[in-house]
A = this chain, B = another copy of it.
Amino acid sequence: MTELPEKPLWLQRAAIVGVGLLGGSVGMSLRRSGVHVVGYARTESGCRSAVQQGAVDEAFCDLATACRQADVVVIASPVDRIASLVDACAATMADDAMITDVGSTKAKIVAGVADLGATVARRFVAAHPIAGSEKTGVANASRTLLDGKAVILTPGHSPDPGFLQRAREFWRQTGGEVIEMTPEEHDRRLAAVSHLPHLMASLLAGSTEPESLPLVGSGWKDMTRVASGDPAMWTAICDHNRDAILDQIDQFRGALDRLRALVAAEETGELRQWLEAAKARKDQAVAARR
């Protein structure tokens, strides 16, 4: 159980733009500390679900109404819509209110917001909570989803130091553990640990012959779990982070060729060493997250 910090005085009201799995979980996590959470959804039924699931205290279909008086606005939309929503929200918010997001890519979003001009860019602190699921929708949201999870802030060059400090405090209040890096480093590392693995899961799932599906075991099931994710969301991620992902695909392909040579060799000593090194890295990851 994550112990939450004391709620900062400035954080009274948060608006969540897009109350799905992740946005809904952010809302639920904040409500534990008594933050008043307002949701924005495109439809009346979306607003109703958000309230009924306990993700927000109230919800509106009008963006300006949702964002007015918020101390923080969290954009929780697909990555290709984040910059334009930052723009739309900024116009409706108080001058001292901070904007953050949950997008899985960062460089293109940060650049898109920089293009909106310094007045908007200085109050935007880009963020990526490493929490999610192949499931979607507020019905799958959880108030503990962010507890103990890394939240990467990629402020870039733009934001005001005061807003950056608020972003740190805000994300700690969700239960997350804040890490900071440049947008470019984020995109390179996430291409390696998230975007490439996602594509490999889809590749394994899509390549499996239907007649072999009754033979799959727990290994196949776990490896392909994320392939159930939303294709539109992942298309946007690939579009946003194309270069880093292509670079990862090329590195993976080179490693695959080296692995093929190890499997082809009659002498299995090197293959075994390779499997042992991979196991060691995996076991190191398990230990690191304890």
Contact = CB atoms under 8 A, between A and B. Distances in A.
A245 B234 CA distance: 29
A212 B192 contact: yes
A215 B285 contact: no
A227 B211 CA distance: 26
Interface stretch (A25-33, A35-43, A200-208): A200-208
A224 interface: yes
Contact of A227 (B238, B251, B282): B282
A4 interface: no
Interface string A123-146: 000000011111000000000000
Interface stretch (A7-15, A166-174, A273-281): A273-281
B249 A260 contact: yes
Contacts of A289: 214, 216, 221
A79 to B, nearest CB: 12
Contacts of A268: 235, 238-239
Contact of A131 (B193, B217, B260): B217
A229 to B, nearest CB: 7
A282 B205 contact: yes
A284 to B, nearest CB: 6
A216 B285 contact: yes
A135 to B, nearest CB: 11
Interface string A81-96: 0000000000000000
A242 B271 CA distance: 12
A205 B235 contact: no
A21 interface: no
A223 B220 contact: no
A202 B283 CA distance: 11
A228 to B, nearest CB: 5
A231 B200 contact: no
Given A214-B150, A226-B222, A263-B246, A202 B234 contact: no
Contacts of A282: 202, 205, 224-225, 227-228
A271 B238 contact: yes
A284 B213 contact: yes
14 contacts: A150-B215, A192-B208, A193-B208, A193-B216, A198-B219, A199-B259, A199-B263, A201-B278, A203-B256, A216-B285, A219-B225, A222-B222, A227-B278, A238-B263
Given A130-B217, A206-B281, A221-B286, 7 more contacts: A190-B215, A192-B208, A194-B216, A207-B251, A216-B285, A228-B279, A231-B275
**Which 5 A-B residue pairs are closest in the complex by CB-CB distance?**
A206-B278, A202-B278, A231-B275, A205-B282, A235-B272
